[in-house]
């Protein structure tokens, strides 16, 4: 039995995969401690882990992020994205590391890719540590444009020249704005300059568990050998028919629609960017008189935040994806990585409208993979949503491609494969 620390930023989209990994390691008999915010203590304790609170690290509620970090504001735009990096990710990292170092020793750390303090603590402790990529892999590659640059993926010599040119301003920005901040948090943790410059230096050199699968991520000829695609990291689905929570009174409408040959469209904005004016309301308006059943989730807000619903729409704060998605024909989302993996794991094609943080990168990958349509905005007009849904429903190849990616995600092994790789690192 090893003493293992699992770290997770207190965001719902991070807690899902990290708690699934924690549960698997606890099931294998390891002594697991989870370092995360108070809001998600129960999720990790239910997974069999002890809770290590954010004490030196500034804790926060992901549903009210601007209350703790005012510069993040509504989370939209370049300034908000930069504030999220500097204030939330970098700003809490030294405190995260201090919490972990105070609770040491550990035999191994399994760290959320964006919980930078876990990477710093692993290096400071001198123990092996693994990175879990909770968003698409951002490691630099000569084959790819820089993360966040809105260009389409392409291959060949001309693309490599283009990529090299695009990297130049980003490398300059790293040297001027990012590396000094990372250097300061390294110094605060008792570390010298990083062996690898920039954000790539916060990935583990020992093991990276990347959610996803080849075909959903871009091909890289220089992918390091210690990077492994492990599919979707999620708890096992409950057996069919098991009571896993209350169902809305309209739940039976899903099966009835399917039986009548009426497509079901699921619309969601996940749990972070949940302003219904961005996507939920435009989708409801655009699909109001379409021959489909629209099922919305509000990310925890009361369903009436949407206002009066069209006759062909239903809504709930949350619904269990493992039961809902097998009944769905198209998912319309704002391109959260966890929700995207869930949809494709179920073989459901997508319409994606991502605008903040990693979401544009997710949206580009969905379109590049052939499993859906990228609307290339986070606030689409109702007519664009309707046209995209109509196109997905009318092109069987998108559903076929989603099914192929679902099979690839399953073949990658998921949580059991992640557990195997962590134990190999321990050995």
Instruction: List, in sequence order, every residue forming a beta bridge with 315; answer none if it has no partner.
Output: 296
**Cα dihedral sign, 334-336-341-342:** negative
Global pTM reads: 0.90
Other CB atoms within a 10 A radius of the CB of residue 190 amount to 11
What's the confidence (pLDDT) of residue 194?
80
What's the confidence (pLDDT) of residue 154?
67
The whole-angstrom separation of Cα 393 and Cα 111 is 39
Give yes or no for a contact between 362 and 270, defined as CB atoms under 8 angstroms apart: no
3-state secondary structure (DSSP) of residue 112: strand
- Alpha carbon of 281 to those of 42, 200, 271, 278, 296: distances in Å? 32, 38, 16, 7, 10
Give yes or no for a contact between 185 and 116, defined as CB atoms under 8 angstroms apart: yes
153-169 tens-digit pLDDT: 667 777 777 777 877 77
Does the bond joining 12 to the residue before it have cis omega, within 30 degrees of 0?
no
180-195 tens-digit pLDDT: 888 888 888 888 888 8
What's the confidence (pLDDT) of residue 302?
82
The pair of structure tokens assigned to 166 is 């695009």
- Alpha carbon of 115 to those of 122, 196, 316: distances in Å? 12, 17, 31
The whole-angstrom separation of Cα 112 and Cα 101 is 16
- Alpha carbon of 195 to those of 32, 134, 191, 199, 227: distances in Å? 29, 23, 11, 11, 18
What's the confidence (pLDDT) of residue 237?
60
Phi/psi of residue 409, each to 5°?
Answer: -65, -40
What's the confidence (pLDDT) of residue 314?
92
Name the one residue in this structure whose structure tokens are 């392409």: 154
Q: What is the pLDDT along the chain (427 residues), one digit of tens a residue?
A: 899 999 999 998 899 999 999 999 999 999 999 999 999 999 999 999 999 999 999 999 988 898 999 998 877 777 888 888 888 998 999 999 999 999 999 999 999 999 999 999 999 999 999 999 999 988 888 888 777 766 676 677 777 777 778 777 777 777 777 788 888 888 888 888 888 777 788 899 999 999 999 999 988 888 999 999 999 999 766 544 444 456 888 999 999 998 899 999 999 987 766 788 889 999 999 999 999 999 999 887 888 888 889 999 999 988 888 889 999 999 999 888 989 999 999 999 999 998 777 888 899 999 999 999 999 888 899 999 999 999 999 999 999 999 999 999 999 999 999 999 999 999 8
CB-based burial, 119-153: b 16+ in 10 Å, e otherwise: bbbbbbbebbbbbbbbbbbbbbbebbbbbeeeeeb
Q: DSSP string covering 26-40, please?
A: HHTT-EEEEEE-GGG
What's the confidence (pLDDT) of residue 2?
94
Q: DSSP string covering 198-251, please?
A: SGGGGS-SSEEEESB-BTTBPP-TT--TTEEE-B---PPPPPTT---S---TTT
The pair of structure tokens assigned to 290 is 């379409």
Phi/psi of residue 214, each to 5°?
Answer: -55, 140
Q: Work out whether strand 293-297 and strand 129-133 pair parallel, antiparallel, or are unpaired.
A: unpaired
DSSP category for residue 145: P
Give yes or no for a contact between 118 and 112, defined as CB atoms under 8 angstroms apart: yes
The whole-angstrom separation of Cα 274 and Cα 266 is 15
- Taking phi over 0 as left and psi of -120 to 50 as alpha, with beta for the rest, 131 belongs to beta
What's the confidence (pLDDT) of residue 307?
87
What's the confidence (pLDDT) of residue 244?
44
CB-based burial, 226-247: b 16+ in 10 Å, e otherwise: bbbbbbbbbbebeeeeeeeeee
């Amino acid at each position: 039995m090893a003493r293992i620390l699992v770290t997770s930023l207190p965001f719902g989209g991070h807690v899902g995969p990290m708690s699934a990994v924690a549960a698997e390691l606890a099931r294998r008999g390891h002594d697991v401690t989870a370092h995360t915010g108070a809001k998600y203590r129960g999720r990790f304790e239910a997974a069999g882990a002890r809770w290590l609170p954010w004490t030196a690290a500034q804790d926060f509620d992901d549903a009210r992020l601007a209350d703790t970090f005012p510069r993040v504001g509504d989370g939209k735009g370049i300034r908000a994205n930069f504030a999220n990096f500097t204030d939330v990710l970098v700003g809490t990292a030294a405190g995260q590391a201090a919490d972990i170092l105070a609770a040491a020793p550990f035999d191994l750390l399994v760290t959320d890719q964006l919980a930078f303090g876990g990477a710093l603590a692993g290096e400071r402790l001198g123990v092996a540590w693994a990175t879990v990529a909770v968003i698409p892999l951002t490691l630099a590659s000569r084959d790819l444009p820089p993360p966040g640059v809105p260009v389409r993926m392409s291959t060949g010599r001309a693309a490599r020249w283009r990529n090299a040119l695009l990297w130049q301003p980003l490398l300059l920005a790293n040297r001027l704005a990012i590396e000094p901040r990372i250097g300061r948090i390294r110094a605060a943790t008792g570390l010298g300059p990083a062996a690898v410059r920039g954000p790539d230096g916060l990935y583990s050199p020992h093991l990276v568990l990347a959610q996803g699968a080849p075909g959903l991520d871009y091909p890289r000829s220089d992918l390091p050998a210690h990077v492994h695609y492990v599919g979707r990291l999620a708890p096992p689905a409950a057996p069919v028919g098991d009571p896993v929570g209350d169902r809305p009174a309209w739940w039976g409408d899903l099966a009835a629609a399917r039986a009548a040959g009426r497509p079901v469209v699921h619309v969601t904005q996940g749990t972070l960017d949940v302003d219904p004016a961005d996507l939920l309301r435009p989708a409801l308006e655009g699909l109001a008189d379409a021959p489909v059943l629209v099922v919305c989730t509000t990310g925890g807000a009361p369903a009436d935040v949407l206002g009066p619903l069209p006759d062909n729409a239903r809504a709930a704060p949350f619904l269990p994806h493992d039961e809902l998605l097998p009944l769905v024909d198209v998912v319309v989302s704002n391109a959260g990585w966890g929700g995207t993996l869930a949809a494709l794991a179920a073989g459901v094609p997508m319409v994606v409208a991502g605008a903040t943080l990693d979401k544009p990168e997710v949206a580009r990958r969905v379109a590049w993979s052939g499993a859906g349509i990228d609307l290339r905005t986070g606030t689409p007009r109702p007519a664009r949503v309707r046209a995209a849904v109509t196109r997905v429903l009318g092109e069987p190849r998108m559903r076929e491609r989603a099914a192929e990616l679902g099979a690839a995600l399953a073949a990658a092994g998921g949580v059991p494969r992640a557990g195997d790789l962590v134990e190999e690192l321990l050995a």
